[in-house]
Copies of this chain bind each other. A is one copy, B any other.
């Protein structure tokens, strides 16, 4: 989508919004930050923040350099056929992170989470609110059994841990595995967690 009509400063304005958002998220966490607050800090109209980014998850993704259209990825996992959800989740994860760039971004995320308490907090709130909350809510509604929230988190943990071995510690056997080999091993595990 291109900015329409009068453009108050284009790239500069966009950068100012991202900078203001970075400060707001770090100071208040993800949940307590609003688009309105970000706009105020950036000295722009809230409609402009909405115009440039869409919503709060998209601003956050930009701040954290998470290179994805998160809503459509989460939507894709949640709406996948029940018996394919494990495989879809693995493929989606590898699609996002399995590139030289993704690898560096994953490292950067882990580095900031482990070095700054406020980064861990905003990342946690974002992931719980926008990713795992949505996934586990969808499966709780579908499956209707208790413990689905913990199992959704452990499924996420499986992928985070695989990524630690593939992108950070670089375990040879994990680095050398193809995406298909990983899907074949991890898909059934995630399937069992989410929709046994």
Segment from A13-21, A55-63, A77-85, A168-176 that makes contact with B: A168-176
Number of this chain's copies in the assembly equals 2
Q: Does A161 contact B (CB under 8 A)?
A: yes
Q: A154-195: which residues lie under 8 A (CB-CB) from chain B?
A: 154, 156-165, 168-174, 177, 181, 185-186, 189, 192-193
Q: At the interface, is chain A mostly helix, strand, loop or mixed?
A: helix
**A171 — which chain B residues lie within 8 A by C-beta?**
124, 127-128, 132, 153
The yes or no answer to A111 lying at the interface (CB within 8 A) is yes
List of B residues within 8 angstroms of A107 by Cβ: 114
Is B120 within 8 A of A110, CB to CB? no
Specify which of A110, A153, A189 lies most central, judged by the most chain B CB atoms within 10 Å of its CB: A153
A179 → B minimal CB distance (Å): 13
- Which residues of the partner chain B approach A114 to less than 8 Å between Cβ atoms? 107, 110-111, 114, 168
B149 close to A156 (CB less than 8 A):
no
Give 13 CB contacts A-B under 8 Å. A120-B169, A127-B169, A127-B171, A150-B173, A150-B185, A153-B174, A156-B165, A157-B164, A158-B161, A159-B161, A160-B160, A160-B164, A161-B164
